[in-house]
Chain A
Amino acid sequence: MIQLESLTKQYGPTTVVDGVTLAIASGSITVIVGTSGSGKSTLLRMINRLIEPSGGRVLIDGHDTSATPVHLLRRKIGYAIQGHGLFPHRTVGENIATVPRLLGWSAARIQARVDELLRIFQLEPAEFAAKFPHQLSGGQQQRVGVARALAAEPAVLLMDEPFGALDPIIRGKAQQDLLDIQRRFGTTVVLVTHDMDEAFHLGDHVAVMSQGRLLQYDPPALLLTRPADPFVSRLTGTADRSLKLLSLTTAGEAAEPGVGEGPSVPAAASLREVLSDLVWSGATAATVMRSDGTPAGRLTLAGILARGRAG
């Protein structure tokens, strides 16, 4: 549980973050979105005190973060940034081992952890541990950046536009990796992005920032159906909001009992994808299949459309 209590940052007369209060549940993914200059990065960097708040406080599991020396605090919090920030003069293995070494782990434990993380990120340790960052592709560098942030098994992971420098295909893969890893370790993730689709795809909760203030902090669906501010609806975009809403629900969640005659769709597919399938094939219903091949129910065109309606 991370609690931000009227967190404020001022530089001289300008207020960059203005009294933000929010509570982040343990084991969830919270995405902070906003345009550039909205104060979202500053908000994130106040959590590990890379920026000292001018007012308010941050509690992690009930403990005020200002009570711990900054460098000790940061070693317990994972941190991954855009452009990965890998140390160019250290190998991949040494990069990942940074925080464990600072914490004084034994060499054997560090070795084991580095190998484990590299495998999780589909980088074969024997091949990659001794490489230098510049010998990796952009996607690989980014994965090492996240692996490094997770090295000391932090309960909290802060990510500042971690996928900003990746091309769309690699970015999709990286987002999926993050979801898998978050599920696996139960890490509390706070991620900053300006990409609304990324926020919707990753976030259990989305916090919308503008001009230093927190406009809305809700699950993605509520941002679409009940925007708290005209700025929120502008940011989420109104042209395709019904489709966005459909993309938040999977076929498995929405399936009605019965068997359809149309095409079969996987339970993990979003309603948006199912709708697209139905429009393409000209069918009015689809059968939802579980990953083990058993039918989970059916979806009708009318049923899907009803779920994309406001309210």
Chain B
Amino acid sequence: MRRLGLLLRLAAFSLLVAFLVMPQRFAPLFAPFTEYGAPPIYDQGSLLALAAAHLGTVFLAAAASTVVAVSLGILVTRPSGAEFLPLSRTLVGIGQTFPPVAVLAIAVPLVGFGETPTLIALFAYGLLPIFENTISALQTCPSSVIEAARGMGMSSRQRLLGVELPLAMPLILEGIRLSVVINVGTATIGSTVAAKGLGEVIIAGLLSNNTAFILQGGLVTGLMAMLLYDGMAGLEKRLLRAVHVG
């Protein structure tokens, strides 16, 4: 069963890489979906470069969100930041009712078209899951463990770095994964505001009525998102096994 899973993942990954590196080889597969001799494979730019740009945007935004969200999460769960906690919780709740498209669309008028609104939207929207998970992880830290750490004479800084954060790690990592996956999707929509990314292929297909473009764009982004989600979940498991013995 596990073997089969690994095999499937490997196959999916190889297929994705093969398609991105030499898309023309797959042209016969997509040809039936074109009409009037339209190109079967996206020809307005390199698919590999688009994929790289897409991932670059996603990870840049995710890195920024992680740093800000985790710091803020730590801040509002310290006694000195307690005044900000109720508002933070409510804001996370309200923020998640904002559709990513709306965040993106509102960012455009503020900063214009291109990468920047997409980056801002990805950053802002990516904050929420990480922030939420950081807060709930730090708040649900078993009080007995914290008491024990205090009893052993650990300073609050030592408690945070040595006890609370390691215990909170699984939930924080999960938040980062969620955030990245949402970002992959939002970045796809970013192509409507002229950000470089794989959404471009789908949009081009929609505009020129080229089903082959739509299909390959959809398949590539879908596959990439699934592999990313799956890969990050695997990475989390390994990381956690390294941190916690057993």
A contacts B directly (C-beta below 8 A)? no
Mark B residues whose CB is within 8 Å of A: none
Mark A residues whose CB is within 8 Å of B: none
